Amino acid sequence: MAQLDLTALRGRLPPRPITRFAPSPTGFLHLGHVANAVYVWGIAGALGGRVLLRLEDHDRGRSRPEYERAILDDLEWLGLAPDIGTIAELRRGASPYRQSDCDGVYAAALDRLARLSRVYACDCSRREIAAEMGDAFDEETRYPGRCRDRGLELTAGRGVRVVLGPGAETFTDAMLGTLSQTPSEQCGDLLLRDRTGNWTYQFAVVVDDERHGVDLVIRGEDLLASTGRQIRLARMLGRNRPPVFLHHPLIRKPDGAKLSKSSGDTGIGELRRAGATPGAVLGRAAWLTGLIDAPRELTLRGLQALFGEGWL
Ligand SMILES: [Zn+2]
């Protein structure tokens, strides 16, 4: 892979940023997470910034305390210490950096949004939406607006959507350059809370990035399509200057094939039990995402050096 153009990259990044590492405790930590952590801690370190740890357990049906415990243990073992939302704080109990502890925050944000924008109840199931759209349902199936004018009451058992409005969002991704996305064509009216009462990923992260002061979002390219709608939603909530986004490549096997999240050779717990060192795991993740040419041991300082130690 081509080496990063660090000079161009640096010019697009905020000085001394607050960035975040935000795993969902719906499974164990794997090399894909560590590849993201390499970027997050490496760039934050190179820019003199801070890393915030946020546990994104908005999906209460799929999140498990044992996954959270294992994620915190693995991060500690890797030597990846967050500056904000520390591991000790999260282990102690309720925290503003754990989404399931913040129901009132999202409820207040929804109230605020409802005063400023058009928010409505929706009782459609995924199946109904897929049937109406005439294609297989996936995360990118556009909601056709079926409930927009039905005047349903906002009650338990119904989802909540917001009208995002027409038009494109243009933004400069720190790695990918200037991009344009049209949320109303991608996803339609955005789901904020689902029918079972879970806040959605899209809503929770936008609310969180604002309240946590995150000004740099570093994440994998699999989330690129969400960027325009998150910028739009943030503005609707009153945030006129969105965070800078940086989408990095996902990990690949040396032959270029995608690594499966669930395959045993990428689980950090498995690698630990097989005798790998933290430095070797960091190095393996950096290698699989193309940051270094061959696997080698990496320290935290070594991660920063990947992104240019002379930046400060
Ligand atoms: Zn609906």
Q: What is the pLDDT of residue 129?
A: 79
Decide if 68 contacts 22 (C-beta within 8 A).
no
- Closest residue by Cα to residue 190 from 221, 236, 150, 256: 236
14: Cβ–Cβ under 8 A, 6 or more apart, which residues? 47, 49, 215, 216, 244
DSSP 26: S
User: Which band of pLDDT confidence, cut at 50, 70 and 90, is reported for residue 263?
Assistant: low
Query: CA–CA distance from 224 to each of 98, 133, 181, 221, 267 (Å)?
Result: 23, 23, 10, 5, 24
Q: DSSP of 235-293, one letter per residue?
A: HHTT--SPPEEEEEPPPB-TTSPBPPTTSGGGBHHHHHHTT--HHHHHHHHHHHTTSSS
pLDDT above 70 (res 239): yes
User: Which residues, chain by chain, have CB under 5 Å from ion ligand 1?
Assistant: 122, 124, 146-147
- The pLDDT of 84-96, averaged and rounded, is 98
- The pLDDT of 210-235, averaged and rounded, is 97
Distance 194 CA to ligand 1 centre (A): 11
* pLDDT tens per residue, range 60-69: 999 999 999 9
Q: What is the pLDDT of residue 238?
A: 94
* pLDDT tens per residue, range 125-168: 887 877 777 665 565 678 989 999 999 999 999 999 999 999 99
- Relative to beta strand 177-181, strand 169-173 is antiparallel
pLDDT above 90 (res 184): yes
Distance 146 CA to ligand 1 centre (A): 5
Distance 250 CA to ligand 1 centre (A): 33
182: Cβ–Cβ under 8 A, 6 or more apart, which residues? 166, 167, 168, 169, 228
Distance 157 CA to ligand 1 centre (A): 12
Alpha carbon 106 to its chain centroid, in Å, reads: 17
Average pLDDT score over the chain: 91
Q: What is the pLDDT of residue 139?
A: 59
**Global pTM?**
0.93
Coil, helix or strand for 140?
coil
Share of the chain above pLDDT 70, in %: 90
Distance 206 CA to ligand 1 centre (A): 22
Backbone phi, psi, residue 64, to 5°: -135, 135
- The pLDDT of 192-206, averaged and rounded, is 97
Alpha carbon 199 to its chain centroid, in Å, reads: 15
Helical segments of 16-142, H only: 31-46, 65-78, 87-92, 103-116, 126-133
Q: What is the pLDDT of residue 1?
A: 42
Evaluated on CA atoms 45, 212, 207, 11, the torsion sign reads negative
Q: What is the pLDDT of residue 4?
A: 64
Q: What is the pLDDT of residue 132?
A: 74
- The pLDDT of 196-223, averaged and rounded, is 97
Decide if 67 contacts 28 (C-beta within 8 A).
yes
Distance CA 189, CA 203 (A): 12
Decide if 51 contacts 43 (C-beta within 8 A).
no
Distance 291 CA to ligand 1 centre (A): 44
Distance 163 CA to ligand 1 centre (A): 12
- The pLDDT of 96-117, averaged and rounded, is 97
- The pLDDT of 260-280, averaged and rounded, is 83
Distance 196 CA to ligand 1 centre (A): 14
Decide if 296 contacts 32 (C-beta within 8 A).
no
